[in-house]
Amino acid sequence: MDETASDLSKGIVALSNVAEQAGVNKFTGGRGVVVGPILSHTLPDIFCDNEYSSNFLFRNNGNGTFTDVAAQAGVEDPMQHGRGVALADFNRDGRTDIVYGNWNGPHRLFLQLSNNRKQRFKDIASQKFSMPSPVRTVIVADFDNDNELEVFFNNIAYRGASANRLFRVSRREHGDPQIEELNIGEAAEPEGRGTGAAVTDFDGDGQLDLLVTHGESAAQPVSVYRVIQGSSNRWLRVIPRTQFGAFARGAKVVVYTKRNGAHTRIIDGGSGYLCEMEPVAHFGLGKDVATNVEVYWPDGRSVARPLELSDLNTVLEIFYPMAEEEETPAVEIECGHGFIVSENGRCTDQDECTQFPSVCPPERPVCTNTYGSFKCRANKRCNQGYEPNDEGTACVGRKVFQLSCCCEILWITLN
Ligand SMILES: [Ca+2]
Ligand SMILES: [Ca+2]
Ligand SMILES: [Ca+2]
Ligand SMILES: [Ca+2]
């Protein structure tokens, strides 16, 4: 906000362009933008998927400036043309992952890696998931409330049929999430000229409904789809508010469950493509029970609130903590399997590897702590340049990330 040109008493809010000072005034064919704590704990970072040039991942330096770390993070994708994009934590490790569609190019599901200090991503898209299509909006949501996220691709049938697609991305205890395609019935719209899409709960039954808009190359009506599976599953919808009572875009909402760990949602109204998403954190719980909810605002303030059984299947509003004492819950909170309560009253990962006696069996004695769980493997020694695989049964080459020749050539050409 431009303070001198604004007069709030008269309702004048003037904005000035600070892109240059912030370090984000790059020249590109911009398409998709998402804003939220991607690399930071609570500060808003920015991811842009671009056309005819590399993507940007602007890390928030916390002082009004940003640094583009797309190259070292491995998300540049310089040869593709991005469209719809969304943020989610698919493997529930507390780190934000990025999914986006490329126009008639391979779609990406970038998982943020947790095995080193550098913030890097790897593409875990399966062959079917990445299959090129004329994609527009990309939505991440738990449509059937079974506590696993789905990814919806809205494709535009501008040169022949191009059906919309839906993939379930299921967390696995040890290993990358499993990706399976689901049958979406009428919502496939093979002849649909889809341009945008959004989810919200129109009828208040606790299940997300899908709205798809069409146009551009032919006039078609709006369609609204209701999900017909999962109506017996539990759910929770959380609406965080700012100190002024507005929807708290950029906030992070974490729900802890008895059996399935921590589910994270980022309130990002701008994800998708050519459309806006609801500023609500929607959680499908399956048969599980949510025990605690934490909300983190972009300024670092947070609130923890224990959940009762009566809170399930409801819409909860969480207000900004005006006083310090509101930040810590008055009663004891329950974090569920794999988590313990920290000194500040927040749920935190339990380091099972420090427990005595060891949590690992004698035949697999090497313990590695993970977010919400732990891993045990055999004590395998490997030659230099190799490391034991996850099970400790074999030695595998250490993963080395390199820029390929072609990325560098493109970079030179563009500059
Ligand atoms: Ca993650
Ligand atoms: Ca689901
Ligand atoms: Ca509904
Ligand atoms: Ca752990």
pTM score over 0.75? yes
Written as one string, the DSSP assignment of 205-267 is: SSS-EEEEEE-SSS----EEEE--S-TTSEEEEEEEB-TTSSB-TT-EEEEEESSS-EEEEE-
Q: In angstroms, what is the span from residue 39 Cα to ligand 4's centroid?
A: 20
Distance 220 CA to ligand 3 centre (A): 23
pLDDT confidence of residue 378: 87
With H, G, I as helix, E, B as strand and everything else as coil, classify residue 284.
Answer: strand
CA of 95 from ligand 4 middle (Å) equals 14
- pLDDT attached to residue 330: 76
Q: Which ligand is nearest to the CA of 166?
A: 2
- Residue 346 DSSP code: -
Burial class (CB in 10 A: 0-12, 13-18, 19+), 155: buried
The pLDDT, as a whole number, for residue 218 is 85
114 with 253: CB under 8 angstroms?
Answer: no
Ligand nearest to the CA of 224: 3
Q: Name the 3-class secondary structure at 135.
A: strand
Protein residues near ligand 1, an ion, with CB under 5 A: 89, 91, 93, 95, 97
Ligand lying nearest the CA atom of residue 177:
1
Distance of CA 176 from the midpoint of ligand 1 (Å): 10
Q: Are 35 and 49 in contact (CB under 8 A)?
A: no
Pair 292, 336: CB distance under 8 Å: yes
Q: Which residues of the chain register pLDDT less than 50?
A: 401-415
For residues 137 and 202, the answer to whether their CB atoms sit within 8 Å is no
Q: In the beta sheet, which residues pair with residue 347? A: 341
Q: 202 C-alpha vs ligand 3 centroid, how far in Å?
A: 5
Give CA–CA dist 93/109, Å, rounded. Answer: 15
CA 144 to centroid of ligand 2, rounded, Å: 5
Whole-angstrom distance, CA of residue 37 vs CA of residue 60: 9
Q: Which residues pair with 237 in a beta bridge?
A: 282, 315
Q: Which pLDDT tens digit goes with each residue over 306-351?
A: 999 999 999 999 999 998 877 877 788 999 999 999 988 999 999 9
- CA–centroid distance, 226 to ligand 3, in Å, is 6
Look at residue 116 in the predicted model and tell me its pLDDT: 63
Q: Coil, helix or strand for 30?
A: strand
